């Protein structure tokens, strides 16, 4: 769509093609910001087939002690507030929540604003007695966590390569206080992520 509009504008403003190109660049940036300002944030739960799915879309029961949240997009200045609101909204809905696990596989990039928001989120959740855990972070996120000392804020024991490791950590910490009805409790036999 942007390419077609840019093409038409360059024809309309001929011989001043730069005007059409400027408008095309502005439209491209605006479209990028619009698409990434509110990316998909899904609360995951165990489907009857054993896989993890979007609980809201599939109308699945969620765990009262653990919330598994997947964020699909870069975590940067335009959407950090949106992400933080979604996490805090989840916390407000679950008075017995003890762990928020962020499935970070969908986060390709993080900027200074995203890093600062995660730091502040760790502090806020800890004050509420809730631990933040990061699972499946890509190498660029690990590097950012190391470089900015966010790894120390989170705690190295709160960052895992696999979701199952994050679940096991939370279940071990909950002990007998964890509900047997938690759908996250029963791992899928093929799930190693």
Strand ordering across the sheet containing 40-46: 52-54, 40-46, 66-72, 99-103, 131-135, 159-160
At 88, list the tokens. 């805090």
User: 44 phi and psi, to 5 degrees?
Assistant: -100, 145
Task: Please check whether residue 90 is in contact with residue 69, taking contact to mean a CB–CB distance below 8 angstroms.
Answer: yes
Question: What's the Cα-to-Cα distance from 141 to each of 44, 56, 127, 129, rounded to whole Å?
Answer: 21, 27, 25, 25
Position 6 scores a pLDDT of 85
Position 186 scores a pLDDT of 64
Position 2 scores a pLDDT of 81
Position 9 scores a pLDDT of 83
Position 12 scores a pLDDT of 86
d(CA 64, CA 117): 25
| Rg of the chain, C-alpha, whole Å | 20
Q: Which residues of the chain have pLDDT under 70?
A: 179, 186-193
Position 193 scores a pLDDT of 55
At 193, list the tokens. 């992520």
State the DSSP string of 101-154: EEEGGG---B-HHHHHHHHHHHHHHHHTT-EEEEES--HHHHHHHHHHTHHHHH
Position 14 scores a pLDDT of 83
DSSP 8-state code for residue 41: E
State pLDDT tens for residues 9-42. 888 888 888 888 898 999 999 988 888 898 999 9
Q: What is the pTM of this model?
A: 0.85
According to DSSP, the residues that pair with 132 across neighbouring strands are: 100
Position 192 scores a pLDDT of 57
């Amino acid at each position: 769509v942007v390419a077609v509009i840019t093409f038409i504008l360059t024809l309309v403003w001929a011989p001043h093609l730069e005007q059409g190109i400027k408008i095309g660049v502005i439209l491209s940036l605006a479209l990028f910001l619009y698409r990434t300002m509110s990316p998909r944030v899904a609360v995951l739960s165990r489907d009857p087939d054993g896989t993890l799915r979007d609980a809201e879309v599939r109308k699945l029961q969620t765990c009262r002690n653990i919330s598994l949240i997947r964020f699909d997009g870069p975590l940067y200045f335009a959407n950090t507030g949106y992400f933080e609101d979604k996490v805090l909204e989840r916390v407000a809905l679950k008075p017995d929540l003890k762990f928020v696990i962020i499935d970070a596989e969908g986060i390709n990039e993080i900027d200074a604003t995203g890093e600062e928001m995660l730091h502040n989120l760790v502090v806020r959740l800890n004050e509420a007695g809730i631990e933040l855990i990061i699972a499946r972070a890509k190498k660029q996120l690990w590097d950012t966590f190391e470089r900015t000392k966010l790894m120390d804020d989170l705690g190295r024991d709160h960052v895992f390569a696999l979701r199952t490791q994050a679940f096991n950590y939370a279940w071990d910490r909950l002990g007998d206080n964890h509900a047997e009805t938690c759908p996250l409790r029963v791992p899928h036999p093929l799930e190693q992520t």
